[in-house]
Chains A and B, each alone.
Chain A
């Protein structure tokens, strides 16, 4: 586990406040622009449609973040950048990397395309380029380059109402707690991402229970890799005990057969 425990104090993160979000879609647009992603919803493609058609868009290999509409509340969906990411732990070739800054990055050159990351992600975030013959996994990278340079993500920069803010993770946690504490009526008393999957770099606060906004409440509170490690750490025991047992049985049964043969030989003589 220790490998994943990086210094949280220096990590960047994102705080999304669903009660502040006005559903303007600036973050959605900024994300598309920053990551050079093609337009994926009717109105932006120049087709006929309602003005806020981006609300109907969904995560895909061309869309790293979406804004979803739940009554009069808007909720953003994107990679949570877990502190101990399942995707990074399951990838057989280590194509995912939890950087020291916080973002979980993906290296397409390493990837073999087994899609275990997609299967393992508790938030169902990674998307695949199904249409390509050399497909890559696509997901939010927390604007890694921009974050390194400016210390802020494109979506946070574009947000007009401070519904999405980026910064150092401890500061964001403090800010989230402050908002909840100052307006206890406005918020559901829980910070999503603080405990889920053992903590993540993206944290969310909301006026209603998170289940109502499409955030899974089934996500375990412990870090995902521990589920696998419980089994993996038994491997050395299995190998050594099994090896000794089998070798022992090999010699024992061989000796037994030999003795039986000698016995027979004597009997005949």
Chain B
């Protein structure tokens, strides 16, 4: 029987912890809704998670419909992988009316700035104050960006992708990113900066580019 007591004690601890987290209205890392994509060949040793049941925009921001009709918005993991460990500097003010493609979040890494754009039209209701000044760790959980009350979400949703479609598209985005990095790295002004190590992509390679190239990166990957 002792064996059972010890086993139950172990499981009980985990179960209580699960409910403590639930009580805090936080996500347990094991039960966050995410797709895991692990394909070494395509991703050059990079694994990516994709938010489940939410819409992902061309500009690598995701939108998730909440129970109360609001839309939660954040950035996807592609951004973390390509840019590196950036810091969110600013979020759009609550009350602002945003259109699809408007900047809602500023970020920086070193002296490089990045802007992320809204995937939907609507009015900003809440912003995640805790995110400002912080490095994004958990883009689909605690580190969401803003919540908007949408205007005509159905129309927006047509141009967004969800679930399996995101997986396919995401693979393509990485291939595109790799091509882009190769293209940038042959330019002479970038000599000395190695973004590709033995043909493999270095995580956070984009941050090493010069400002001009980053502008191009933004046009290619962040605009909607």
Contact = CB atoms under 8 A, between A and B. Distances in A.
Interface of A: 260-261, 264, 267-268
B89 to A, nearest CB: 36
The 8 lowest CB-CB distance pairs between A and B, nearest first, are A264-B198, A264-B199, A261-B198, A267-B198, A260-B198, A267-B199, A264-B197, A268-B198
Contacts of A261: 198
Contacts of B197: 264
B103 to A, nearest CB: 37
8 contacts: A260-B198, A261-B198, A264-B197, A264-B198, A264-B199, A267-B198, A267-B199, A268-B198
Contacts of A264: 197-199
A224 B105 CA distance: 74
Contacts of B198: 260-261, 264, 267-268
Interface of B: 197-199
A260 B198 CA distance: 9
Nearest to B197: A264
A258 to B, nearest CB: 13
A260 B197 CA distance: 12
A263 to B, nearest CB: 8
A244 to B, nearest CB: 31
B192 to A, nearest CB: 13
A267 B199 CA distance: 9
B13 to A, nearest CB: 29
Contacts of B199: 264, 267
Nearest to B196: A268
B114 to A, nearest CB: 29
A257 to B, nearest CB: 11
A261 B194 CA distance: 14
A24 to B, nearest CB: 42
A119 to B, nearest CB: 16
A268 B186 CA distance: 11
Contacts of A268: 198
A145 to B, nearest CB: 42
Given A260-B198, A264-B198, A268-B198, 5 more contacts: A261-B198, A264-B197, A264-B199, A267-B198, A267-B199
